[in-house]
Amino acid sequence: MFDPVISGLPAFASFFATGIVLLGVFFALYVLITPYNELQLIRAGNEAAAVSLGGAVIGFALPLAVSVAVSHNLYAMIGWGVIAGIVQLLVFVVARIVLPRINESIPQGRMASGIFLALLSIAVGILNAGCIA
């Protein structure tokens, strides 16, 4: 009864571990490209930073999950994960160009900016996931 689950555990573990590593790399890169320190802002109770960063993580995790579902090997999953990460990083860069004051708004805790950036990241992540599928 549990044979398919047990026999699938090694594949699950490898895809899951790879996904966690990709998520960690994306998280580190995203925090590096932003001109403010999200983690410090979040520790200080800045909700706009938490929402914005959370949206970026969800926007990356959505296509990453689809890449796991459609990939038949880890290399394809990693490739799609790298593309998804690049797309999400570009979302932030474009948002900074279109809304240059967002660099000030997030550290000041302006929720409208945090929500907008989060929803933009999630929307692009959904589109990205659909393109992978």
Q: Give tens-digit pLDDT for 38-75.
A: 999 999 999 999 999 999 999 999 999 999 999 989 99
Instruction: Indicate the pTM of the whole model.
Output: 0.93
Q: In a 10 Å sphere around its CB, with 0-12 CB exposed, 13-18 middle and 19+ buried, how is residue 71 labelled?
A: middle
User: What DSSP designation does 35 have?
Assistant: S
Q: Give the pLDDT confidence score for residue 119 in this predicted structure.
A: 98
Number of Cβ within a 10 Å radius of residue 15: 17
H-type helices in the chain, by residue range? Answer: 3-33, 38-43, 47-70, 74-98, 102-105, 111-132
- The length of the chain is 133
Low-confidence stretches of the chain (pLDDT < 50) are none
Q: Give the pLDDT confidence score for residue 43 in this predicted structure.
A: 97
Q: Give the pLDDT confidence score for residue 133 in this predicted structure.
A: 86
Q: Give the pLDDT confidence score for residue 7 in this predicted structure.
A: 87
Structure tokens given for 109: 């805790």
